[in-house]
A = this chain, B = another copy of it.
Amino acid sequence: MFEQLGLIGCGLIGGSFALALKRARLVRRVVGYSKSPSTTERARQLGVIDVEAPSALLAVSGADLVLVAVPVSASEATFRAIRHGLSPHAMLMDVGSTKCDVIAAAERGLHNHFSQYVPAHPIAGKEVAGVEHAEADLFQHRKVILTPVEGTRPALAQKAEQLWRKIGAQVLTMTPEAHDAAFAAVSHLPHLLAFAFVNAMQAQPDGKRYLELAGPGFRDFTRIAGGDPTVWRDILLANNEEVLRQSQLFRNTLLQMEAMISNGDAAALDESIGAARNARRQWPSAGRANSAKH
């Protein structure tokens, strides 16, 4: 049980974390701060937080648990802003989609408080953003990746793991480097490809007319192209090396498949598509979500 959660960033993820802790009776009081005062006010009106703080520094004062749920690029400024208000016994976590850069920001921003910081990435989200859509269930049966480093207090890493488990999440522990490499492959690259695909379509003289013919395959393939530009710009830049490495691997495979098409090599193409199909169908979470056409 925590006495007070200091929540920096009262959006979908931060708000859901607060609600989940409240419902599980894991926290007595939530003090919240968002950059936009109207968001903080809305969070209080919705019962997501109990008290509005006028600054990030005041939101963490007296807190034994702090969650930083801000865009990745705002991490360092946030760490600097709260450092002098942080109790030496408080546990601090973030929720960023990239880990190496946020850990580096924490080292620079938190100084001697760095050991209190447990880097976290909940794999949760919704089609919509904002505190209005926060819900106590958001982390139920979802994965949360923790990436503690040498400087992290082991007791806090354990405590963080227990906390996420208590609100229904499945906790995995990885190194920050392994995390960033994996998410470049399974999340950041597909976003980049979806953005590039839509832009390449739009850049064509007939692109707009083509779009009118697009069906459900196109809809699903490009759904992630609707993501927030600032969030995704930050992620792609923060994880640039791994993203560029994955993009190159992808382009090599694409060129190989183009060569099969160009050479009319039906057997190789059949094998290649079959391998992709099998891998996709064997994917643990695939369920029945495979389309026969379009």
Residues of A within 8 A of B (CB): 12-13, 97, 123-129, 143, 145, 172, 181-183, 185-187, 189-204, 206-207, 209-233, 236-237, 240, 243-244, 246-247, 249-254, 257-258, 261-262, 264, 266, 269-270, 272-277, 279-281, 283-286, 288-294
Contacts and interface: CB of A to CB of B under 8 A. Distances in A.
B199 A275 contact: yes
For the complex of A and B, the 6 pairs showing the least CB-CB separation, nearest first, are A226-B290, A125-B293, A200-B253, A195-B276, A186-B214, A229-B273
B206 A249 contact: no
A136 B226 CA distance: 34
Contacts of A264: 237, 240
B187 A229 contact: no
A123 B294 contact: yes
A291 B211 contact: no
A218 to B, nearest CB: 5
B286 A195 contact: no
Interface SS, A side? helix
Contacts of A12: 292-293
Contacts of A262: 240, 244
Contact of A195 (B124, B181, B186, B273): B273
A99 to B, nearest CB: 13
Nearest to A270: B233
A220 to B, nearest CB: 4
Contacts of A293: 12-13, 97, 124-126, 129, 227, 231
Contact of A206 (B182, B183, B223, B276): B182
A212 B123 contact: no
Nearest to A190: B221
A214 B187 contact: yes
